[in-house]
Amino acid sequence: MKEELIYGRQPVREALKSEKRKVKRLFVMEGAQGKIIEDIKQLSQKREIPWEIKDKTFLEELVGKNVNHQGVVLLAQPRASLTWQEILKKNKTSPEATVVFVDRVEDPANLGTIARTAAFFGVGGILISKARSAPLDSPVVRASAGGIESIDIAQINNFTQVIKEFQKAGFWIVALEADGDKDIWDADLRGMPLGLVVGGEHEGIRRVVRSSCDMVLRIPSRGVINSLNVAVALGIGIYEVMRQRSTN
């Protein structure tokens, strides 16, 4: 299995905390200090992962000169993905469950932020289309600031078919699009497990995917810009779900 480099203080700490990856070695830049650095060292010792002090040049040769590694790099195996069936099984019995479907998000920064946002809100999993999506490698891990380490993720081929399987299991599938049929706060999102669907940077949610959804909702604009970054839109969508579910 090809090894992966994880860099940045928060991503490295979260990877060590989650224990979802097999880690081969930790490299710490000489002179690197701070509470997170000490946490990282302690976590590596707890997991019996060897670590070495290296100079700046070594780390730059490892990850690239223009990469902000913040003085720490992990050499680890790729994060194992679940199957969509496993995510469905974990969530289908809860009327409060929320999962996220990501249709062709190609920018690693966006995909990483989606993972961090989903982890922050404690969603039940992320299902990502394999076609034309950013690979779940170092740039996505870095952009997620460690969030990707603490959430269930499945990469799927037949996106629309998987949506249908979730619908059969009782999920209400809601697409978030700028030209949705009604404002998100006018829809009742309580009392059922939900799947929130967001689309890629260029074409949004594909037509075939959109037609499979139960509702298409919009986040209304009050300014001159009529669309949102996909990760921002997702955050607003999940927040609205949580807000509704927290009120009587």
Nearest to 41, CA basis, from 7, 78, 16, 66: 16
| SS3 assignment for 178-229 | CCCCEEHHHCCCCCCCEEEEEEECCCECCHHHHCCCCEEEECCCCCCCCCCC
Per-residue confidence band for 45, with pLDDT thresholds at 50, 70 and 90? very high
| Phi-psi region at 14: left, alpha or beta (left = phi > 0; alpha = psi -120 to 50) | alpha
Give residues with Cβ within 8 angstroms of 218, minimum separation 6: 176, 177, 178, 179, 180, 181, 182, 183, 184
Rounded Cα distance between 215 and 181, Å, is 8
Contact between residue 191 and residue 97 where contact means Cβ atoms under 8 Å apart: no
- Token pair 């959430």: residue: 151
Query: Averaged over 207-225, what is the pLDDT?
Result: 94
Query: Averaged over 185-206, what is the pLDDT?
Result: 93
Q: What is the DSSP string of 122-164?
A: T-S-EEEESTT---SSHHHHHHTTTGGGGS-EEEES-HHHHHH
Q: Is pLDDT above 60 for 139? A: yes
Rounded Cα distance between 227 and 225, Å, is 6
Nearest to 73, CA basis, from 45, 40, 47, 42: 40
Q: Is pLDDT above 70 for 248? A: no
Which tokens hold the place of 146? 């460690």
pLDDT in tens, 67-106: 899 999 999 988 777 999 999 999 999 999 999 999 999 9
What pLDDT shows up at residue 220? 93
pTM of the predicted protein model = 0.90
Nearest to 76, CA basis, from 38, 49, 48, 54: 49
Rounded Cα distance between 240 and 219, Å, is 10
Which tokens hold the place of 127? 């299902």
Using DSSP, state whether 27 is helix, strand or coil: strand
